[in-house]
A = this chain, B = another copy of it.
């Protein structure tokens, strides 16, 4: 129990259920003096909804963030910032059916056992991807803080979907295109191909997974508090909070298993009088500390568990084998929606470590 708070100095508490009254989040520890409006949050929140990269007014009414506390006269006050979105249009679907015939690879059954049957099972309750809307709201604040104080930028994108991998692109491409297409690909070409894979899955009544890549620029040397609160440790922890994530790797990642030390090592060079790394196979973190090179990691996202095909399950009432076809409208691929969530969780961890390391002050004075 009591596992819904992350961070040491920039603390984020998640609350709310998929089919409850609202999805919410509270930040305790945001520095005072950061300019912040609901629009700042909304902008990020809108990116989490697929098909809305070009934000249209018609959709703007949905999932409107409301800041309940911690902001006054347009600036953060240093007090806890509570933000919520109200749940609307909750259809009174018959969730009783899934309650006793748990969906394979969903948390339904395990949560049922863990919480003694008291968990809110409607729409997955706390295990719904919808919970990540709260992550994005908190992440929006973290991102703004990082940008303002350290000029840090967090950029994630779909590197691969359904086996289709983006290639030959620059960070600038990713920065420019990822929110211009529905699948969050770093190039328009990759977007087309990935979309095709998703459509094929839809046609099959099936789902596909993929890989998200995240790059962070502008970090100073020194973030991360080894040995246990290492930067990669805390990032990994945060990223695994995102439903459907099954792995993470930094820099060369799993490829490092087949590299020699002489290949993997990143030599120091002097460039324009400054000390730099010749390459970045470490992914921007060595010994748990940021190296000044871009932070660089990849995250694997499994194919969504809600498929339109018949699956084996059990009937909890009788204890006997049965079958299930998961109804309702579900995402055929969660990667696009997870992209801004990866950015959010990354920003939350970096803000926390920025404050811990003293490079982000408790109060932003003399704006």
Contacts and interface: CB of A to CB of B under 8 A. Distances in A.
A269 interface: yes
A147 interface: no
A26 B26 contact: yes
Interface stretch (A51-59, A173-181, A185-193, A207-215): A207-215
A232 B299 CA distance: 14
Interface in A330-367: 355-358, 361-365
Q: How many copies of this protein are present in the complex?
A: 4
Contacts of A211: 254, 257
Contact of A365 (B6, B21, B116, B240): B116
A236 interface: yes
Interface residues of A, number: 154
Contacts of A21: 68-69
Contacts of A287: 106-107, 110-111, 127, 243
Given A111-B289, A253-B246, A268-B313, A79 B119 contact: yes
A278 interface: yes
Contacts of A206: 260-262
A304 B357 CA distance: 28
A2 B234 CA distance: 14
A294 interface: no
16 contacts: A2-B8, A4-B227, A20-B68, A20-B72, A32-B116, A32-B119, A76-B118, A77-B126, A78-B114, A105-B281, A204-B260, A228-B241, A230-B241, A256-B303, A262-B307, A270-B314
The 4 A-B residue pairs whose C-beta atoms are closest, nearest first, are A3-B225, A107-B287, A2-B29, A3-B229
